[in-house]
Amino acid sequence: MTALAQHIARLITETGPMPLSHFMALALGHPKHGYYMTRDPLGAQGDFTTSPEISQMFGELVGLWIAETWIAQGSPSPMILAEFGPGRGTLMADALRALRSVPGLLEALEVHFVETSPVLSALQKKNVPNATWHDRFDTLPQGPLYVIANEFFDALPVRQFVRLKQGWCERFVMLGEDSTEDAPKFEPAIMPVPLASLDILAPAHRNAPLNSLAEVSMASAAFTEDIAGRIKTHGGAALIIDYGHVKSAIGDTLQALRAHQFVDPFETPGEADITTHVDFEALVRAAKIGGVEAHGPIEQGTFLKALGIHERSETLKAKATLDQARDIDVAERRLTAREEMGSLFKVLALTPIGAPIPAGFEL
């Protein structure tokens, strides 16, 4: 049993069952025992692998996308290049290397990281020494803002609601019947008290059939609206990449990964990566409330191909050994093939209203 499990069990005993979003926030972000606070979860030794960790091509192409978008908006200087949830800092390091050839951009940009994990911040500092760190959005400096967020939104807490006869009722986390002080057991349970107002649900969800489950991430909507508000005021853009669905869909997408295996999200809070699929329609709605234009979401494979991943891989292979060339081919396939990350992962771009359509989103 983990220290965090004991802490959560005590909270539930003292204050009652907690919304799933609260459980998820504690499991991932508890300042001392939260999953991200205590470890580097990435790579073969960790729990999951992300696109920038698969290949340098990913960060390079994202860097060039930022450059093109910045130039198309008149090269504002200074500009803030902010990454949310930068992991090991690999994406940013690859992006900055690719940007070196763009006149004026390195001089104009300030790198800012929004990150809550001390372990990952330390790794980021090794890869990108000259960044500035923030543990929340609102301390980012004001100015033209270019945001990158890869696999950030899937880690933000969600609430879940189930449509019962009496209305939409929230799923809470409570202690199971066989739970003891020494071995707490958590399980989800629906509070049979219906929502008084359906405003919180996606419009597409409100008339779903009985027993449908709807997910709502207030944190994702808030981050998106805040980012959009800054871009509206100061110019800039955002590139949001994650696994998820284009349209708000019914269904439970809560999952937990430990050592690359799916595990029960309620079993070892703080020890497994808990995520949900991102509802991109909800992000688009929040972006519009924030006052910007949304492009996409399009599939990651389509996006990377449009930015020239194949040409980049050919260039890299020309200088590579046979073994390296094979790895580059495998990486290109993993990032773009429909049955790998090419289709499940989506890319959404936000720009000021009336700004040029960003690269990759023209169709």
Binding site for ligand SAH (CB under 6 A): 29, 36, 42, 50, 52-53, 85-87, 91, 114-117, 120, 150-152, 155
Minimal CA–CA distance to 161: which of 102, 212, 235?
212
CA atoms in the 13 A half-sphere facing the CB of 34: 19
Angle at 81 between CA 75 and CA 85, to 5 degrees: 155
Q: How far is the CB of 104 from ligand SAH (least distance, A)?
A: 27
Residue number with CB closer to ligand SAH (148 or 162): 148
**Strand pairing category for 273-275 and 255-258:** antiparallel
What percent helix, strand, coil does the chain show, rounded to 5? 40, 25, 35
Q: How far is the CB of 163 from ligand SAH (least distance, A)?
A: 29
Which residue matches tokens 């981050």? Answer: 223
Give the Cα separation of 299 and 303 in Å (integer): 6
Q: How far is the CB of 218 from ligand SAH (least distance, A)?
A: 12
Three-state DSSP at 244 gives: strand
Residue number with CB closer to ligand SAH (98 or 114): 114
Q: How far is the CB of 175 from ligand SAH (least distance, A)?
A: 26
Residue number with CB closer to ligand SAH (169 or 272): 272
Q: How far is the CB of 200 from ligand SAH (least distance, A)?
A: 20
Give the Cα separation of 110 and 99 in Å (integer): 13
Residue number with CB closer to ligand SAH (33 or 163): 33
Cβ distance 309 to 332 under 8 Å?
yes
Q: How far is the CB of 113 from ligand SAH (least distance, A)?
A: 9
Q: How far is the CB of 107 from ligand SAH (least distance, A)?
A: 26
Cβ distance 351 to 295 under 8 Å?
yes
Residue number with CB closer to ligand SAH (50 or 160): 50
Give the Cα separation of 307 and 359 in Å (integer): 7
Residue number with CB closer to ligand SAH (90 or 302): 90
Question: Which residue type does 216 have?
Answer: V
Give the Cα separation of 195 and 135 in Å (integer): 32
Q: How far is the CB of 272 from ligand SAH (least distance, A)?
A: 13
Residue number with CB closer to ligand SAH (154 or 281): 154
Residue number with CB closer to ligand SAH (12 or 149): 149
Cβ distance 157 to 21 under 8 Å?
yes
Q: Edge to edge, what strands does the sheet with 261-263 contain?
A: 261-263, 255-258, 273-275
